[in-house]
Structure 1
Amino acid sequence: MRVALAGAVAVPLLVLLVSGAAQSEVHVMERAGVLTLRQGHPYLADPRTVAEVTPYLPGMAVLGLPRAVWGDGGPLPAAAGDARLWCAALFLGCVAAARRARGGVPGGGVPGPDGGAPGTEGAGGGAPGAESPDGRVPGAGGGVPGAGGAGSGSVAGRWRGRAGTGRAAVGVLVASPVVALPLCVSGVDLPLTGLLLLALVYAARRRPVAAGLALAAACSLKWTAWPAVAVAVALLAHRAGPRAAVRGAATAVACTALVLLPAAVLSPGPLVRQVFAFPTGRGPWETPAASPLPGRLLAELGPGGWWAAVGLLLACGVGVAASLAVRPPQGLVAAADRLAVGLAAGFLLAPAGRYGYLALPLLLAVLARLVDGTRGPGRATRSHVVRGHVVRSHGVLGHVARGHVARGHVVPSHVAPGSHVVRASGPPRTTPPEPPAP
């Protein structure tokens, strides 16, 4: 893997940094950073050529700020200020943060409420709880077998193996052409992909504010990220309830508006022409995004064809929104797939587009599976089960006392409130929550 990363990423990127060769997107980001420091927004008032157009939202200028601050007076400042390095750093940082947020903590039980040793029953001799289905009765006041205790060491070992395999798989993905090529020559879509992944991971982990902040960061780079708000909100509503969904949506919208406000006030005309009209083929400059995709072919038929492509694009958006309302995604992979399908359909039906745009939904779907596959056993919280239920997962069985799971128990993160996990080996199978007693 190291050889692949060196040959596919490190060496080509170093050669390009030294030679100064890059796609036009890199220069656009760096110019946006210079203009933002100079005038408070990244748009030229009257661009004369396509190269002077900034088709990105103001947040993209942040990736060009190192060049604006350090300049290019020497090989080291020139290389360190290259926007590709910061695009790659943001992308890899988001993937690492997503893996950390999604993964559990293997090994080592949790002490019991009265100080029982990890992985053992508590020494305090708490009162026994109600008898479990197989006759095992852990004490409600003592410690309980933890994730690293007897009978679960193999679970931690398997988790560590999956984590190592996940790291290797991410490395292979980065060395593949889907990531290595854009990382070396432009990198402009990689930060967007990483932030969308991180937002969905936080939504799956029931962290609405963190998900909203990640969404705001993505939505301030490109407006093609805006559909992700609906997907993440639907996932939050399913996983954490309507109030959490509202908090996540409010955070995303408010923070995005805060980033866009200076440019919208200081330069509304250039913002609309360069960011919204130009990428859709309606600006005064001809867009270079002219791959023969269905939307582009329709738009070339004339004004009627352009409106037909826009109509199909809107119909696709309505269809995805309806699917979120009728059948909201229940986990990270499902949410990433729904967003990937929507983005892919949008790129195909847009009046202007490139084949390379389709790498974003593909990469998002693959990364979601790699991150979700490294998830370890998580510790139980009050939101997982209700009073009096018995939880069995990966061979760890315990009785719920005082409205929460006794500390140290292992509960799959997908278990709904009030569910029973009824299998002790293999993939856990859950039954629906029981209705409350009258």
Structure 2
Amino acid sequence: MVTTRSSGAPRARGRFGVRRGTPNATGPTVRHPGGHPVGHRPGSADPTYPRPLAGVPQQRPFTRTDQQVHPRRARLAALATRCTGRATRLGDRRLVHLLGCLVAAGWAAAFPLVSNLGNQRLWGEVAAPAYLLAGLAVITLPRRVAGRVAAAVALLGAVLLPLGVLAAQGRHQSEVMVVERSARLLLHTGTPYLPHPVAVTDFNPYLPSMAVFGLPRAVLGDANPVTQVLGDARIWFALTFLGCLTVSWRLLRPAPQRSPLLPLGVLTGSPLIALTLAVGGVDLPLIGVCCLAMALAARERTLAAGLVLALACTLKWTAWPALPVAALLLWRVHGRRAAARTTLTTLLVGGAVVLPYLLTRPQDLKEQVVRFPLGLAAVRTPAGSPLPGKVLADLGPTGHTLSLVLLVLGGISVAGWLLLRPPTTAVAAADLLAAGLTVAFMLAPAGRFGYLALPVVLALWPRLAARSWRGRPVADPRTVGSTSLVATH
């Protein structure tokens, strides 16, 4: 028999004492993204059964909303995609490759005419014909092998041949001699600094870790041709540079992986790196270490990033801006703990290296590491390329002070840019570091054109590895209108 009840009769109570058919007192029904209430048994007759407990706070539901992309950002993304595609197609043309080889050959051929350094003249005399042969290989060989053969010819003629000749003869820039002497001093006296420098070559403008690259010479000596070459600090500069760039490529390269040998060969064989590698530039390991630090920070390798940054910051003081850049990258992408872990590791390890000399030999660090590179010591630094800061410093004390003021203002400007637009990718972090170093090198009272290789490689290599030419992530126009799950609280 079917029983009925009047409209005024109380409703029957179900499980948990909640009236059936009444709205939940605690808010709307909690539903899954699929639309069913929490606890609903698919196929049951009553979709509202069972109800949540009355008086128990319930989590707000997940809802599906369309991802809105700003039209201006979508246009920028589309423009960047078109420019990248055009640049890629242009870079595949033989004429562009030939033009690059001719420019490199002209650059190398200028050194025998304008340089007063014998090592640089020798490099130019050997490298210029090698670049011309690389250009000939570009236009005569089949396309599938032309690039590899041209890169191999440039490496052989612009790097290996002049490096081998100079290393066998014991010829190098004064920086190599300073590094090797600092290693011998470290082993015998416990400090890499001469106590009373009087000549240019007596000054050691590097931090203590740079002496590590001179240890092979201090241990092996130069009694025979083999140890003459293996003990050369330039070999270890080059190996550190190549190893760090290779690892950073592996970290930043999206799947599927592609070998870094060809890009690394082209970069190393270019005049930008080949000259520095052959004659002995101490900035090569710093370039590789900075690139590796940004890649490790982007991949949340916090401990490894801290150790690599500690190495960079104890090689030269110009690497110190890398620490705040990497810390902000970690903060934005991976959180405060990751940034704090990397920063603390860098400060502890770097402090353990520098602090003993800062406590026992503070005058050496002040005079040789700080005052000498800034042109404030009694002996003038040989770094004298006509950059803006150097030109101002040559005008007298007022110009020297003005260059230092501009250097500080430039550093403050880059720091403000870093805080207002903190990096979220390795490419953006490398761009910020490159901008800061460019300002420092351009406005410093003393500098060389060769120093600019560091910011150039920082701006170029992460882009090649990550296959991204944008410093900040911009929404892809193809994702406009896509949906995503977002939590509403």
Find the counterpart in structure 2 of residue 301 from structure 1.
395
Distance in 1, matches of 2:198 and 2:374, equals: 18
User: Scaled by the length of structure 1, what TM-score is found?
Assistant: 0.73
Tell me how far 1:262 sits from its aligned partner: 2.6
Distance in 2, matches of 1:77 and 1:296, equals: 39
Once the two structures are superposed, what CA deviation does each residue of 1:233-275 show, in whole Å capped at 9, x if it has no partner?
A: 1111111112211111111122111111232233221111001
Contact 2:286 2:319 in 1 (8 A): yes
Matched, 1:205 2:205: no
Q: Which moved more, 1:252-261 or 1:277-286?
A: 252-261
Matched, 1:11 2:62: no
Letter in 2 for 1:74: N
Distance in 1, matches of 2:218 and 2:397, equals: 41
Tell me how far 1:186 sits from its aligned partner: 0.8
Letter in 1 for 2:172: A
Tell me how far 1:305 sits from its aligned partner: 2.2
Matched, 1:224 2:318: yes
Trace 1:244-323 onto structure 2 (pairs within 5 A). 244-323=338-417
**What is the count of residue pairs matched by the alignment?**
337
Distance in 1, matches of 2:238 and 2:368, equals: 25
Change in 2 beyond 3 A, CA 1:3/1:264: same
Distance in 2, matches of 1:430 and 1:14, equals: 59
Change in 2 beyond 3 A, CA 1:4/1:257: same
Once the two structures are superposed, what CA deviation does each residue of 1:281-339 show, in whole Å capped at 9, x if it has no partner?
A: 00121111122221122222333322221111111111111111111112111111111
Find the counterpart in structure 2 of residue 437 from structure 1.
488
Change in 2 beyond 3 A, CA 1:422/1:349: closer
Matched, 1:340 2:340: no
Which secondary structure state, in structure 1, belongs to the residue aligned with residue 286 of structure 2? helix
Change in 2 beyond 3 A, CA 1:352/1:210: same
Contact 2:249 2:462 in 1 (8 A): no
Once the two structures are superposed, what CA deviation does each residue of 1:92-144 show, in whole Å capped at 9, x if it has no partner?
A: 1101111222235x5xxxxxxxxxxxxxxxxxxxxxxxxxxxxxxxxxxxxxx
Find the counterpart in structure 1 of residue 194 from structure 2.
44
Tell me how far 1:88 sits from its aligned partner: 0.5
Cα RMSD for the two superposed structures: 2.4
Contact 1:235 1:331 in 2 (8 A): yes
Tell me how far 1:374 sits from its aligned partner: 9.2
Trace 1:37-436 onto structure 2 (pairs within 5 A). 37-104=187-254, 159-160=256-257, 163-164=258-259, 166-373=260-467, 435-436=486-487
Distance in 2, matches of 1:327 and 1:64, equals: 40
Contact 2:276 2:450 in 1 (8 A): no
Once the two structures are superposed, what CA deviation does each residue of 1:381-401 show, in whole Å capped at 9, x if it has no partner?
A: xxxxxxxxxxxxxxxxxxxxx
Letter in 2 for 1:253: L
Which secondary structure state, in structure 2, belongs to the residue aligned with residue 283 of structure 1? coil
Letter in 1 for 2:335: G
Matched, 1:2 2:152: yes
Distance in 2, matches of 1:12 and 1:40, equals: 34
Match of 2:170 among 10, 17, 20: 20
Tell me how far 1:23 sits from its aligned partner: 0.6
**Quick check: which has more Rg, 1 or 2?**
2
Once the two structures are superposed, what CA deviation does each residue of 1:32-82 show, in whole Å capped at 9, x if it has no partner?
A: 110111111100001121111111100100000011111112211121100
Letter in 1 for 2:451: Y
Structure 1 unaligned blocks of 5 or more:
107-158, 376-413
Contact 2:253 2:467 in 1 (8 A): no
Distance in 2, matches of 1:187 and 1:67, equals: 16
Letter in 1 for 2:358: A
Letter in 2 for 1:77: T
Structure 2 unaligned blocks of 5 or more:
1-150
Letter in 1 for 2:395: L
Q: Which moved more, 1:353-362 or 1:82-91?
A: 353-362
Aligned-pair identity (%): 48
Distance in 1, matches of 2:337 and 2:284, equals: 31
Distance in 1, matches of 2:481 and 2:179, equals: 49
Find the counterpart in structure 2 of residue 409 from structure 1.
none
Letter in 2 for 1:73: A
Distance in 2, matches of 1:56 and 1:234, equals: 26
Contact 1:60 1:220 in 2 (8 A): yes
Contact 1:99 1:374 in 2 (8 A): no
Which secondary structure state, in structure 2, belongs to the residue aligned with residue 221 of structure 1? coil
Which secondary structure state, in structure 1, belongs to the residue aligned with residue 373 of structure 2? helix
Contact 1:235 1:335 in 2 (8 A): yes
